[in-house]
Amino acid sequence: MASGRRGAVGPTPRRRKLRGSRRPQHFTSTPGRPRRARGKEEEERRRSRGQQPPSALHPRSHLAPVTSSRRQQPRLRPARPGSSLEPEERSMEPPAVPEEEEEEEEEEKEGAVPLSMAPGPVGCQLFGYVGIEAVLDQMKIKTMKTGFEFNIMVVGQSGLGKSTMVNTLFKSKVSRKSSQPGQEERIPKTVQLQSITHVIEEKGVKMKLTVTDTPGFGDQINNENCWDPIIKYINEQYERYLREEILITRKRKIPDTRVHGCVYFVPPTGHWLRPLDLEFMRRLSRIVNVVPVIAKADTLTLEERAEFKQRIQEDLKTHTISVYPQEDFDQDPEDRALNDRIREKIPFAVVGADQEHQVNGKRVLGRKTKWGIIEVENPAHCEFPLLRDLLIRSHLQDLKDITHNVHYESYRVRRLNESNRPGLSPLNGLPGKGEASSHL
């Protein structure tokens, strides 16, 4: 028993002796120095190392013995599962900041913009070629393969050169065919509403053009409700597109027969607009883009033409008739500036001709008279180039966008609201064509 006890107790005094020989630092004292002075030196040493002084960690740290930074920071060990041992919070706190630096940070925070309200980056500068610009080439190639559609309608009194103007606009015989082939081509008088479709190709770009020629508008003695056939035709094209759109299994590309633009021909009387013209344009401007023009402007002098245009502009403004381009749809400042210049020229004074003549060694489109040749594409003679640029070169896509997003959308909303009325067939959800035309 004694030997066993000696073997178990024997190494214990040696360990105590070794432990006793290593005294902790906070129990050692330096003679001649007070404890308070040593505490200040320790704080200055910790601040020089970027550590937080003990006085900032514990409000009563002046009563605790001064310890070294080596023993102040505990060693972090992974906690065992189910154990509640965690590192002390004082080891994770940031170092103390002087009062002057704290005031500067508070001023910066007050003047800073919150993250939610900070403006986003204007643009990100690329440091290499990505190929985003190739999207335009892809769209161009796809459009050249599929082509696009454009539908135009001409409305006005008979004998004002509507069909000739369309042929001049597209430089081809797209309006009407000759009634008697083999003889001199003369455009016959239109007797009914008729649409003619042609495919025009220029530099690889295909356009499916549909021209709708109207009967002699306002030629009868009683012109009451003479606009009904034209308005009915426009709404029928909206109805046809709507029925294709609401199908469960619809076509990949819906045929677009909607009228994108309507050119209204005003007779060159030199006076005010007729009440029939005002009423018809007022009704027509609600469902389609209307572009008024003065037909056969070569019958007026320059002074008469300028005065007549001013009177027409006053009539349109007085009767609140919105013609294309509409002011309500101008969003971009550049587009607004361009459209303002166009609105100053409306209505365009145009002259139509589909025959070429020799002028100064060049072949030009024009009308030959006894006193000379009126060149159609000469801005000094007429405003046909302005009409061509508006309909084809600058605003063709805008005409289609406004037709789809404004006029067709208002028609679609009205028809779908009518389909919600009780008593309609649950199969199609829309009334028949006869019922639709009765409400329009």
Q: What pLDDT shows up at residue 311?
A: 94
Helix (H, G, I), strand (E, B) or coil at 361: coil
State in Å, rounded, how far the first CA of the chain is from the last one: 120
pLDDT in tens, 22-74: 554 544 444 555 555 666 777 777 777 766 655 555 544 444 444 444 445 54
Cα-atom radius of gyration of the chain, to the nearest Å? 44
Tokens of 231: 């308005």
H or E element in which residue 121 lies: none
So what's the pLDDT on residue 398?
Answer: 94
* CA 272 to each of CA 21, 218, 315: distance values in angstroms, whole numbers, following the listed order: 121, 16, 8
Q: Is residue 360 situated within a structural domain?
A: yes
**Looking up tokens 């050119």, which residue turns up?**
263
The answer to whether 386 and 345 have CB atoms below 8 angstroms apart is: yes
Domain count, the chain: 1
What CATH number does the domain containing 291 carry?
3.40.50.300
Question: Of all helices (H) and strands (E), which one includes residue 357?
Answer: strand 356-359
Token digits of residue 345: 């020229």
Containing domain of residue 324, as a range?
A: 253-411
Q: Is 435 inside a domain boundary? A: no
Cβ distance 242 to 431 under 8 Å?
A: no
In a domain, 420, yes or no: no
What is the model's pLDDT at position 215? 75
Q: 387: closest CA among 419, 342, 422? A: 342
Residue type, 225: N
Helices (H), 112-133: none
In this structure, which amino acid lies at residue 287? I
Decide if 297 is inside a domain: yes
In a domain, 138, yes or no: no
* Residues of the chain falling short of pLDDT 50: 1-9, 12-13, 16-21, 24, 26-30, 59-71, 74, 76, 79, 81-93, 112-118, 120, 178-181, 185, 188, 191, 424-429, 435-440
Residue 369: the pLDDT is: 87
Does the pTM of the predicted model rise above 0.85?
no
How far is residue 154's CA from residue 158's CA, in Å, rounded to a whole number?
11
Residue 127: partners with Cβ closer than 8 Å, 6 or more residues away = none
User: Which H or E run contains 380?
Assistant: none
Which two three-digit tokens encode residue 132?
């985003």
154 domain residue, yes or no: no
Is residue 9 a part of any domain in this protein? Answer: no
pLDDT of residue 106: 58
Name every residue whose Cβ is closer than 8 Å to that of residue 229 and which is 6 or more positions away in sequence. 193, 214, 215
Query: 264 φ, ψ to 5°?
Result: -100, 125
